[in-house]
Amino acid sequence: MNARKSALSNISNAVRNYVEKNAPYNVDTEFGCDTFGLKALEQRLSKPIYTKLLETIDEGAPLDQRVADDVAHGMKRWAMERGATHYTHWFFPLTGASAEKHDSFIEPDSHGGAISRFSGKNLIIGEPDASSFPSGGLRSTFEARGYTAWDPTSPAFIKRAGGVATLCIPTVFCSYTGEVLDKKTPLLRSIQVLGVQAKRLVKCFGIDKDHVIPRVTLGAEQEYFLVDKSLYIQRPDLMQTGRTLFGAPPEKHQQLEDHYFGSIKPRVLSFMDDVDRELWRMGIPAKTRHNEVAPAQFEIAPVFEELNLANDHNMLIMETLRVVADRHGLVCLMHEKPFDGVNGSGKHNNWSISVDNINLLNPGSNPHENAIFLTTLCAIIRAVDLHADLLRATTASAGNDHRLGANEAPPAIISIFLGEQLTDIIEQIEKGGAKSSKNGKILKIGVDALPSLPCDVTDRNRTSPFAFTGNKFEFRAVGSSQSCSSPNVILNTIVAESFDEIATALEKLPKEKFHDGLQEILKGIIKKHKRIVFNGDGYDGSWVKEAAARGLPNLKTTPEAIKPLMNPDNRKLFAKYGVFSEGEMESRYEVSLEEYEKKIHIEAELTLNMANTIIMPSCIEYFGKLSSALASAKSAGLPANPELKARALELSKKMEKLSKSCSALKSKLRGTPAQKLEAMSKVREVADELELIVDDSCWKLPKYSELLFVY
């Protein structure tokens, strides 16, 4: 039996004894027990110190040494009580992953023993070597020093892996000279910028208390695949690139639509349950779990939270999925397109902003709230139309290129879905005085109430990349493996710019002209930017043509899609708001491009390697079988068997084609990514044909039908 066959038989013979979780789950003691959040802080700090810390967390007041020392002391004791011996500053370099470097609390004393120590300085600042992280040219290698600095707005937590508890302290990461080398800093900056402009905007509507607190929120739905680990380790492509570079689509995959929301298999449910419990320990409000569209595809969604925290939590969700999967003999694939021919995985980025507990994207129940809502809506329409290319740029990656526009995910064209009712309202505003709207009514902003917009009515269209869904926008182009940071940095900043623009105009209006003036401003925005609104089927081919006619960009591959990051106007915009310096924005471009090129190159080399060392040998083995059958038939004096001979000939022809396509790929290894991708697809095409004619017992690579259905 070959390794593939024995792995399959082991999986089917495995006896799984699931642990019954009969004990009631105690939310009070178990949820968040591994986060050093406000509750734990209050318990462990003196009242004045706690109050001072709250000023830092809520208002960004500078942290004094005394407070830091007390917090550090309390945090260390709390962590050690939970079994931690080490702490780490936990940060997000431009690799898109999270990074950590552990230090123990242990310090030798002068008597040959040791004490545990963790100071305010240890808490606030760290100095990891930055030289091996991508910087896109921002940091020269001779100046390797990098800094991590505590982000007090995201609570420290205990991460448990391999039975080891580690205290993790969320931090930002920058270079010695202050350039940003991470994904958290720009996110924090952009949240602040949007908050400032949102406060200005609502002030125009009379919301002007001393402490209006803006809150940008994110709920990130996370899709993923699960495959059995013993099959996974026989797929070098999954191991090294996260996606299958070979594999003929099985006859049955997702056509019958029998997986979506189907009953969850016991092995998967047991995994999901462990994931939820681990997330809850860390204070992550995991809420929804279900089967997704493709076989072996699933989704997890937490309840939305403040954006910075939600982003940290999404990073932890991805890590927890991977770690827990391993314990269950499974592997969690976060790649955007692990399997050709079935759905890929995305991350639905549900985004909203509220000020003083009023969700600006909630239509509300009176004309005043409606006016704020419609203004926000128009600001977003303007922002997305002006900067669709930047939003697209943040979702560009080698993985997501395979998913966007693949008849299952939103196309690479950015457009906004508003739904029929809201579109009608927008059209009424555009027409201003005309009586030609759907129900003959003219909406006077700030005077008339909106008809109530039931949430479910607005969420029928799943094909739009940027959809209004009741009280939030859902950005669906984000890839499953991507950090939510960059898309939200862009979204926050472009919406802040629109708020700024509108607030500047509103601030100039005399009080008695406010509503008429507002109506005119919104009318102007809609006239100019409504081309971005599209309520039709985003998967339909006709949309590509129509979008082109509307002048909307359709940037299909990463190298084109990230170019807007280099556009001088875009760079000036981000510099103006202090979110990215021009150099920082350029560095993001460099990092994205380099990562893209490296990934494609790895895929190209691996395609060659697998074709030569796994696929061709499978073919040779089968060819040997056929040839010896032919030879023995001949020596037994049997008449020539046309079937045998035809098979051997077909096989031999395809093997030759495989060799030729491999040579062609080899000659393109120094070529452009596009040339490599093209040559790789030729190798794959013939390899997948071979998979369908080679004796199943000779085939070494686990097949799609096995990866997707055997778990």
The residue (of 472 and 668) whose beta carbon lies closer to ligand ADP is 472
Window 316 to 355, contacts with ligand ADP (CB under 6 A)? 348, 350-352
User: Binding partner of residue 471 among Mg ion, ligand ADP, none, CB under 5 to 8 Å per kind?
Assistant: ligand ADP
Find which of ligand ADP, Mg ion, none residue 314 binds, CB within 5 to 8 Å per kind.
none
Least Å from the CB of residue 429 to ligand ADP: 23
Instruction: Name which position in 189, 235, 313, 348 contacts Mg ion (CB under 5 A).
Output: 348
Alpha helices in 387-419 (DSSP H): 388-394, 398-403
Nearer to ligand ADP, 312 or 474 (CB): 474
CB of 359 to ligand ADP, least distance (A): 5
Of 285 and 524, the one with the shorter C-beta distance to ligand ADP is: 285
Closest CB 216 distance from ligand ADP, rounded Å: 9
Q: Which of residues 468-497 bind ligand ADP (CB under 6 A)?
A: 469, 471-472, 474
| Cα 413 to Cα 415: distance, rounded to the nearest angstrom | 6
CA distance linking residue 658 with residue 666, whole number of Å: 12
Quick check: 219 binds ligand ADP (CB under 6 A)? yes
Are 229 and 326 spatial neighbours (Cβ–Cβ below 8 Å)? yes
Nearest distance, CB of residue 303 and Mg ion, angstroms: 13
Specify the residue for token string 């279900």: 290
Specify the stretch interacting with ligand ADP by CB under 6 A; choose among 103-111, 321-329, 390-398, 464-472: 464-472
- Of the pair 224, 232, the CB lying nearest ligand ADP is at 224
- Residue 514's binding partner out of Mg ion, ligand ADP, none, with CB under 5 to 8 Å set by partner kind: none
303 binds, among Mg ion, ligand ADP, none (CB under 5 to 8 A by kind): ligand ADP
Q: Which residues from 663-682 bind ligand ADP, rule CB under 6 A?
A: none
Minimum separation from the CB atom of position 704 to ligand ADP (A): 27
Distance between CA atoms of residues 423 and 443, nearest Å: 13
In order of 144, 175, 312, 481, the CA distances from 126 in angstroms are 14, 12, 19, 27
Cβ-closest residue to ligand ADP?
A: 219
Pick the piece of the chain touching ligand ADP (CB under 6 A) from 98-106, 255-263, 467-475, 577-585: 467-475
Nearest to 130 by CA among 91, 167, 161: 91
**Among 105-113, 264-272, 346-354, 381-389, the segment contacting Mg ion (CB under 5 A):** 346-354
How many Cβ atoms from other residues are within 10 Å of residue 686's Cβ? 21
Backbone angles phi, psi at 475, to 5 degrees: -95, 110
Task: State the Cα–Cα distance between residues 205 and 209, nearest whole angstrom.
Answer: 12
The contact pattern for Mg ion, residues 303-342, with x = CB under 5 A and - = no contact, is ----------------------------------------
- The token pair that represents 360 in the structure block: 């600006």
Q: Quick one: tokens of 252?
A: 């049955």
Judged by CB under 6 A, how many residues of this single chain contact ligand ADP?
17
Indicate which single residue of 303, 631, 674, 693 sits in contact with ligand ADP (rule: CB under 6 A). 303
3-state secondary structure 372-395: HHHHHHHHHHHHHHHCHHHHHHHC
**183 scored as a contact of Mg ion (CB under 5 A):** no
Q: How far is CA 576 from CA 265, 385, 550, 588, in A?
A: 52, 20, 29, 17
The answer to whether residue 359 forms part of the interface with ligand ADP (CB under 6 A) is yes
| Amino acid at site 347 | K
How far, in Å, are 282, 320, 619, 683 from residue 615 at the CA level?
44, 34, 6, 11
Q: Is 308 among the residues that bind ligand ADP (CB under 6 A)?
A: no
Rounded to 10°, the helix 642-667/582-610 angle is: 150
Judged by CB under 6 A, does residue 301 bind ligand ADP? yes
Q: What's the sign of the alpha-carbon dihedral 538, 542, 546, 551?
A: positive
Beta pairing class for 214-228 and 330-333? antiparallel
Closer residue to ligand ADP in complex, CB, 304/709: 304
Binding-site member from 260, 304, 514, 539 for ligand ADP (CB under 6 A): 304
Question: CA-CA distance, 134 to 147, in Å (whole number)?
Answer: 15
Closest distance between ligand ADP and the C-beta of residue 218, in Å?
A: 6
- 187 in Cβ contact with 351 (< 8 Å): no
Determine the Cα–Cα distance for residues 235 and 244; give it in Å rounded to an integer.
Answer: 8
Beta bridge partners of 150: 171
Chain residues binding ligand ADP by CB under 6 A are 217-219, 221, 301-304, 348, 350-352, 359, 469, 471-472, 474
Chain residues binding Mg ion by CB under 5 A are 348
